[in-house]
């Protein structure tokens, strides 16, 4: 913001040291060389940076904004952002603006009153109008976008959804499955399309004909996995494995199988997508595609702190690698 006070990131920029180093000096920690400390102290004094405890002083703040905080992966992103911000002596302000324009507007007003040093948006939590206002405020903005919801104007951190969809399908093919069901995510999200295309690409690469009857709609939520799995089981020739585009849908599929007395993985293999913490503990533990959510949060926080120092990111969009995590919900098909 044009008129806002000098921040530790400004000081770090001018001193040519890292933000954590400045924060160590500000915080009176002793793990800084005397020469560096002297240089930073001099800059802090010259710019009148207010120290701890002096009335009216403020520490740097990063705003982390979600649509809602009921998403099971919110805490993963919060953890990543907080780790980097905490190390830099920066506070992480977590907000949920829901889908109400009034709520987003109040958040924006609070943000201006806080003179926040940067904003991390999780997916498209803000309407375009609000995003334009943010741009006018000049507050650095980074988008964390596991959903791949849109072509970004701001620096955006995503995950390799297409590669993840391909890896999950290849795993099932390597186990010997040929009829592999796919439960889709919401069609409006790019990540849904990317995961489906990854599934199809793996089938193509293995010369397995794609059967459109094996692709059923979904929305990432548990109920859709339950319903979608039942649809697949009711087919004249059901699949021997199901790849659900989210962990919640995979758990729904496992419940649908349990209700029919079918065992996972003996009777049907199930693969999810996300690697939510709880799927390590599902019965059976879920084979899934890991989204590096806390790493995405860490990178977003670092990028926002860099932008506050006017350091531009290497690329406007970065995708962190997804990774197949093989647990107990997949096995070779009965027929093999």
User: Minimum distance between the CB of residue 15 and a second copy, rounded to whole angstroms?
Assistant: 18
User: Which one among 37, 39, 50, 200 touches a second copy, defined by CB under 8 A?
Assistant: 50
Interaction of residue 326 with a second copy, rule CB under 8 A? no
Tell me how many degrees the CA angle 306-131-160 measures, rounded to the nearest 5.
60
336: contact with a second copy by CB under 8 A: no
58 interacts with a second copy by CB under 8 A = yes
| Residue 86 makes contact with a second copy by CB under 8 A | yes
Could you tell me which residues come within 8 angstroms of residue 296 by beta carbon, excluding any fewer than 6 positions away?
Answer: 77, 80, 144, 146, 157, 158, 159, 320
Minimal distance in Å, beta carbon 181 to a second copy? 18
Q: Is 110 in the site for a second copy (CB under 8 A)?
A: yes
> Which span sits near a second copy by CB under 8 A: 68-76, 147-155, 163-171, 302-310?
68-76
CB of 244 to a second copy, least distance (A): 12
**Residue 317, token pair as written in the block:** 């969009």
277 near a second copy, judged by CB under 8 A: yes
95 touching a second copy, by CB under 8 A: yes
Q: Give the interface size with a second copy as a residue count (CB under 8 A).
A: 65
Assess 295 for contact with a second copy (CB under 8 A): no
Q: Which of 227, 240, 282, 302 binds a second copy (CB under 8 A)?
A: 282
Q: Vertex 113, ends 67 and 150: CA angle to 5°?
A: 30
The 3-state secondary structure of 234-295, one letter per residue? CCCCCCCEEEECCHHHHHHHHHHHHHCCCCCCCCCEEEEEECCHHHHHCCCCCEEEECCHHH
Please give the C-alpha separations between residue 284 and each of 221, 230, 275, in angstroms, as whole numbers. Answer: 19, 19, 14
Residue of 120, 117, 91, 84 whose CA lies nearest to 302: 84
The label of the residue with tokens 């390597």 reads 174
Q: Is 70 in the site for a second copy (CB under 8 A)?
A: yes
Burial class of 105 by CB neighbour count within 10 A (0 to 12, 13 to 18, 19+): middle
Residue 200 sits in the site that holds a second copy (CB under 8 A): no
State whether residue 216 is helix, strand or coil.
strand
- DSSP letter at 88 equals T
For a second copy, the binding residue among 18, 37, 39, 91 (CB under 8 A) is 91
Choose which of 103, 153, 312, 321 interacts with a second copy (CB under 8 A): 103
Q: Strands, E, within the chain: which ranges?
A: 61-66, 91-96, 118-122, 141-144, 156-159, 180-183, 215-216, 241-244, 269-274, 287-290, 317-320, 323-325
Q: Applying CB under 8 A, does 33 fall inside the site for a second copy? A: no
Quick one: 203 or 229, whose CB is closer to a second copy?
Answer: 229
CB of 128 to a second copy, least distance (A): 21
Interface residue with a second copy, options 16, 53, 209, 236 (CB under 8 A): 53
99 near a second copy, judged by CB under 8 A: no
Task: Round to whole Å and give the CA distance between 270 and 328.
Answer: 9
What are the backbone dihedrals phi and psi of residue 141, each rounded to the nearest 5 degrees, phi first?
-130, 130
If binding is defined by CB under 8 A, does position 278 make contact with a second copy? yes
Where on the chain is the footprint of a second copy (CB under 8 A)? 1, 3-5, 23, 26-29, 50-53, 55-59, 61, 63, 69-70, 72, 74-75, 78-79, 82-83, 86, 89-96, 102-103, 105-107, 109-110, 112-115, 222, 248, 251-252, 254-255, 258, 276-278, 280-285
């Amino acid at each position: 913001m044009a008129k806002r006070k000098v921040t530790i990131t400004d000081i770090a920029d001018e001193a040519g040291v890292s933000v954590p180093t400045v924060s160590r000096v500000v915080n009176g920690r002793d793990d800084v060389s005397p020469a560096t400390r002297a240089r930073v102290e001099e800059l802090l004094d010259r710019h009148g940076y207010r120290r701890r405890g002096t009335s009216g002083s403020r520490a740097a703040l990063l705003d982390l904004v979600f649509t809602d905080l009921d998403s099971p992966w919110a805490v993963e992103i919060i953890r990543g952002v907080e780790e980097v911000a905490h190390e830099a002596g920066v506070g992480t302000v977590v907000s949920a603006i829901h889908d109400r324009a009034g709520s987003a507007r109040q958040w924006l007003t609070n943000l201006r009153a806080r003179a926040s040093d940067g904003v991390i948006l999780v997916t498209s939590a803000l309407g375009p109008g609000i995003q334009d206002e943010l741009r006018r405020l000049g507050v650095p903005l980074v988008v964390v976008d596991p959903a791949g919801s849109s072509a970004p104007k701001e620096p955006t951190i995503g995950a390799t959804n297409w590669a993840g969809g391909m890896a999950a399908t290849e795993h099932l093919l390597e186990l010997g499955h040929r009829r592999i069901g796919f439960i889709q995510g919401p069609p409006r999200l790019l990540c849904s399309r990317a995961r489906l295309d990854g599934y199809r690409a793996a089938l193509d690469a293995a010369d397995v004909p794609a059967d459109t009857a094996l692709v059923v709609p979904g929305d990432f939520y548990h109920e859709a996995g339950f319903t979608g799995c039942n649809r697949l089981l009711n087919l004249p020739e059901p699949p021997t494995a199901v790849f659900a585009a989210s962990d919640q849908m995979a758990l729904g599929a496992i419940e649908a199988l349990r209700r029919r007395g079918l065992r996972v993985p003996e009777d049907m293999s199930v693969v999810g997508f996300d690697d939510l913490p709880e799927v390590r503990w599902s019965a059976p533990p879920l084979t899934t595609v890991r989204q590096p959510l806390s790493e995405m949060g860490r990178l977003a926080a670092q990028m926002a702190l860099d932008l506050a120092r006017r350091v531009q990111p290497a690329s406007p969009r970065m995708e962190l690698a997804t990774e197949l995590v093989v647990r107990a919900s997949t096995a070779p098909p009965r027929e093999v």
